[in-house]
Every structure is written in structure tokens, then in C-alpha cells.
Amino acid sequence: MSLLTVNAVTSGYGDMEILHGVSIEVGAGKIVTVIGPNGAGKSTLMKTIFGLLTPTAGQITFAEKEITGLSPDLVVRRGMAYVPQVENIFPSLTVNENLEMGAFILTDDFSGQMEEIYQLFPILNDRRKQRVGKMSGGERQMVAMGRALMLDPKLLMLDEPSAALAPNLAATIFERIVAINASGVAILIVEQNAKESLKVSDRGYVLASGRNRFEDTGENLLANQDVGQLYLGG
């Protein structure tokens, strides 16, 4: 069953067209990775899905309802969460306060959901009152992911979750991504660390110059010689 379908979407910034008829699909409960060189349109795709950019052509369907051009606040209420690569936390607030900000539309008690986040990211549990701006890059990324999960989304979108992290911290982030997915959350990842991301993905897409280049299971893309030589460093 498809949770998210992006069909022949064209999008960009003003008169600058970045995506040229891109199509992807994320099944319910699946992990999907989008890879490609810098400038391929990966982040533009994420922003367009989330409503930060309005497509000029194509259609986006989420949970069996069209969301093409819908504003981010309405997309969030439909069950989608997005963690951008930068500016994804409130550095002057504590870990606890960041998580509370993630629950901004909830009116009921969300303490149970917060405790689930701390179980998922144990390192944050001991730092509930620490200001996030003083934490490491990996810890800040965990806070950002935790904040996005406070609304119990159907789909979590992550833009470069392992960017600039040491290998051991990147590995921890991917372990948490698998754990989040095991709880039933579908995940769409844009990632430069293509090999590691494809290893945990059910399906993958390769974008090049704003167009679909390859599409297959994560395992098959890792084994594809053309993909390996062009996008995975051989």
C-alpha cells in the first residue's frame, strides 16, 4: 500500500526549475532513500512534498488524499513530519523544551509520547534540562528527530540526517532510524551517505539533474555497477 506518491512533479525556486517531472513512492511502513549528486534536486523534492515549495506541475498524494501545494501546517496535521538538514532545533531551549515544541498542536497530555522519545534516544534522557545548542551534532540530530516524532507521524522525512557526523555517530543515527521504522513509521531519507542509507532501505531512487535516473530496491541499487561507479564511489 502506498502512503506517499509523488507523480511527475516539477518544482523549483521562482523561475529556476529544479525538478523536472520527478516521481517517487513510499509504501506504508517502509524506508525509502533518495540519493544523487549535489544539485540533483533532493532537498527541493523534500521541501515540495512538505509544502515549503509549490509544484508547478504534477501531483502529490499522502494517505490517499491529494496534498499538492498544501501548506506545511496542514501537511503536519495529515501525519507527516520533516527534519531539515539545518536549523532543525531550537538551540537556546533545553531538550525537554524542544520536544514540547514538537507537540505544538496537541491539546491532550503528551507526557507519554515524550517518555517514548527518551526511550528511543536514551542519551537524551540524562540531558533533559541541557540546552541543545551546547550539545554535539549527533545529539542535536537526535533532538530534531525526537521533536518530529512527538506528533506520532505516519511518515518521517529526514534531509541528510548523518551530515557532518563522525562515523560512529552516523551509525547510531541509522540504528535509530531502523528502530523508528520498526515502530510502524514510514521514513523518507535524502542522504549523501548513500551506501549506509541504502543498506537499511526497502527502496531507493537516484536523482540526477532534477530527474529520475535509477529506481530499485536498496539492495539492488547497492549491487548495480552503474549506480556504484556514478554515485557510490565505485
Residue 86 — pLDDT band, cuts 50, 70, 90? confident
Residue 179 — pLDDT band, cuts 50, 70, 90? very high
Contact present, 35 and 24 (Cβ < 8 Å): no
Angle subtended by helix axes 95-102 and 111-120, to nearest 10:
120
Residue 107 clears pLDDT 90, i.e. is over it: no
Closest CA to 150 of 181, 104, 183: 104
CATH architecture of structural domain 2-231: 3-Layer(aba) Sandwich (3.40)
Task: Please tell me whether the overall predicted TM-score, pTM, comes out greater than 0.85 for this model.
Answer: yes
Stretch 122-139: mean pLDDT, rounded?
93
pLDDT for 41 equals: 97
Residue 230 clears pLDDT 80, i.e. is over it: yes
Using alpha carbons only, give the angle 44, 49, 54 rounded to the nearest 5 degrees. 75
Contact present, 196 and 39 (Cβ < 8 Å): no
Residue 234 clears pLDDT 70, i.e. is over it: no
Residue 67 — pLDDT band, cuts 50, 70, 90? very high
Stretch 189-195: mean pLDDT, rounded?
93
Residue 87 — pLDDT band, cuts 50, 70, 90? confident
Q: What is the 3-state secondary structure (H, E, C) of the chain?
A: CEEEEEEEEEEEECCEEEEEEEEEEEECCCEEEEECCCCCCHHHHHHHHHCCCCCCEEEEEECCEECCCCCHHHHHHHCEEEECCCCCCCCCCEHHHHHHHHCCCCCCCCHHHHHHHHHHCHHHHCCCCCEHHHCCHHHHHHHHHHHHHCCCCCEEEEECCCCCCCHHHHHHHHHHHHHHHHCCCEEEEECCCHHHHHHCCCEEEEEECCEEEEEEEHHHHHHCHHHHHHHCCC
Residue 201 — pLDDT band, cuts 50, 70, 90? very high
What are the tens digits of pLDDT across the range 216-229? 999 999 999 999 99
Using alpha carbons only, give the angle 105, 107, 110 rounded to the nearest 5 degrees. 90
The least confident of 2-11, 53-62, 131-140 is 131-140
Q: In the predicted model, what is the mean pLDDT of the chain?
A: 94
The residues spanned by each domain of the chain are 2-231
